[in-house]
Amino acid sequence: MNKFRKLTKSIEIGSASSIDGDQSAFQLLVISLKEDTTTLSRQFVRNTVAGSIFVPRALRWILLNLSGLVIETPKIREDCKFNNSFVTIGKQTSINRACYFEGSGTISIGERSNIGPGCYFLTSTHKRQLGIGLDHPFSEPIVVGDRVWIGARSTILPGTVIGDDCVVGAGSVVKGKLEPGKAYGGVPAVELKSKSASSKFQTKKN
């Protein structure tokens, strides 16, 4: 708040005095405007233009890559929000409509995976200290392997690693490391055991 007051005061009187180390109020304004303009232009291309239902998937693919993302598949449906500049999506992977990619941590999705509609990939988090509250936010990467199937409206939390050939049930909240080739589901997501295998075990036991 004090920095903001100094900034506005220096603008009013036309001062170029330093309020943040070596940077003057005018320099801070220029830097801020450049950053905001870059962010707004990228968000406009990625989300407003490319996210439109009226944009063909092939054109959406081109626009997303031009905005700085690394997308190797044209199978990206409408209404997806890329509020993250570090997203990589592999070949033949399908991203259904209205998925959300957040934060500044890397999000890497492998090849031939299927992401259901309305899935959230969140890389931002906080550490909480008793008596203090939340620290400044920081990011942790998300890694999704090859041939993964994530059900609709699942939430993938910061630092999650999903192994190859995993299945994640719809509506799951996923955190941690998921072993390759296994099925997970729930809030929080846990490994789902096969009912057939369980019934066979019960029969032998009896």
Token pair for residue 11? 């603008």
List, as own/partner pairs, every contact residues 138-145 make where C-beta atoms lie below 8 angstroms and the sequence separation is at least 24, other chains included.
139/103, 139/104, 139/105, 140/105, 141/105, 141/106, 141/107, 141/108, 142/105, 142/106, 142/107, 142/108, 143/108, 144/107, 144/108, 144/109, 144/110, 144/113, 145/110, 145/113, 145/180
Residue 149 DSSP SS3: strand
Q: How far is CA 55 from CA 14, 79, 116, 196, in A?
A: 46, 11, 20, 45
Q: Is 136 a catalytic residue?
A: no
Spot the catalytic one: 3, 34, 91, 126: 126
Give the max Cα distance, the chain.
88
For residue 192, give the DSSP letter.
P
Among all residues, which ones are annotated catalytic?
A: 126
